[in-house]
């Protein structure tokens, strides 16, 4: 596969979490990826088990450390004291909360394909903590929550969606949630308009 094809065919894994399904946001959220020109290549509803959720979040052995450090930095940036200085202690508690949150109702799992799909979807999703995620993003527009609120109640931050953080993470997550035959390879007519090297105008080439 050429470098070009690889970029155009990049895939990312996405979950509409139980709170977003309950709040009737499936359409609103999906619309944002459709309108930017990404291609939906797999979709299904599911009710996840706690084991599947734990395995999902620990596919990357570094996730525990990184997420703990991100939380500590989030507190410090606001001039607040984090619940612990140990990133792993923080993430152990987060993982417990995530298993409850992510299994609390149906979710919608998706695979989106297109150039730079991983980064584009993360940009549209916004930062992890709704309090500080940008206006205009999914997490910035449709929900209010913070590390402080979640940690005080020993629960996961309710931020509506999951999106892969890197191409490697996406590959692992897609395999974890979908069988190869559930992912459909097809062309969208708009790909021609968006990326074809040559444009054929009304008067021909």
Residue numbers 72-101 binding ligand ADP by CB under 6 A: 90, 94, 97-98
CB of 41 to ligand ADP, least distance (A): 21
151 binds, among ligand ADP, Mg ion, none (CB under 5 to 8 A by kind): ligand ADP
Cα separation, 1 vs 110, in Å, equals 24
Q: What angle do CA 92, 97, 102 make, to 5 degrees?
A: 125
CB of 203 to ligand ADP, least distance (A): 48
According to the binding rule CB under 6 A, does residue 19 interact with ligand ADP? no
Nearer to Mg ion, 13 or 33 (CB): 13
According to the binding rule CB under 6 A, does residue 32 interact with ligand ADP? no
121: its two tokens:
């979807």
Torsional class of 183: left (φ above 0), alpha (ψ -120 to 50), beta (otherwise): beta
* Residues near Mg ion, by CB under 5 A: 165
According to the binding rule CB under 6 A, does residue 12 interact with ligand ADP? no
By CB under 6 A, name the one of 121, 157, 170, 174 that touches ligand ADP: 157
Q: In which element (H, E) is residue 109 found?
A: strand 107-113
77: its two tokens:
């940036």
Residues designated as active site = 162
Cα separation, 92 vs 72, in Å, equals 14
Q: What angle do CA 177, 121, 160 make, to 5 degrees?
A: 70
CB of 127 to Mg ion, least distance (A): 11
By CB under 6 A, name the one of 14, 48, 71, 177 that touches ligand ADP: 71
Among residues 37, 36, 38, 35, the alpha carbon closest in space to that of 14 is found at 38
Residue 160 phi/psi, 5° resolution?
Answer: 70, -35
Nearer to Mg ion, 116 or 122 (CB): 122
Q: Which residues bind ligand ADP (CB under 6 A)?
A: 67, 70-71, 90, 94, 97-98, 128, 147, 150-151, 156-157, 159, 162, 165
């Amino acid at each position: 596969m050429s470098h070009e094809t690889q970029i155009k065919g990049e895939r990312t894994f996405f979950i509409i979490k139980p709170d977003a399904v309950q709040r009737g946001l499936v359409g609103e959220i999906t619309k944002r990826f459709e309108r930017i020109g990404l291609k939906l290549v797999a979709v299904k509803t599911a009710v996840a088990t706690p084991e599947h959720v734990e395995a999902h979040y620990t596919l990357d052995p570094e996730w525990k450390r990184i997420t703990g450090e991100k939380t500590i930095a989030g507190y410090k940036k606001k001039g607040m004291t984090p619940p612990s200085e140990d990133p792993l202690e923080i993430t152990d508690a987060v993982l417990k909360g995530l298993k409850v949150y992510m299994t609390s109702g149906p979710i919608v799992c998706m695979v989106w394909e297109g150039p730079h799909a991983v980064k584009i979807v993360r940009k549209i999703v916004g930062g992890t903590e709704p309090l500080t995620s940008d206006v205009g993003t999914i997490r910035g527009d449709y929900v209010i929550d913070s590390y402080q609120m979640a940690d005080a109640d020993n629960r996961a931050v309710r931020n509506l969606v999951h999106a892969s953080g890197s191409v490697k993470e996406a590959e692992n997550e897609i395999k974890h949630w979908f069988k190869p035959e559930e992912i459909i390879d097809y062309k969208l007519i708009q790909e021609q308009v968006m990326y074809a090297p040559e444009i054929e105008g009304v008067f021909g080439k």
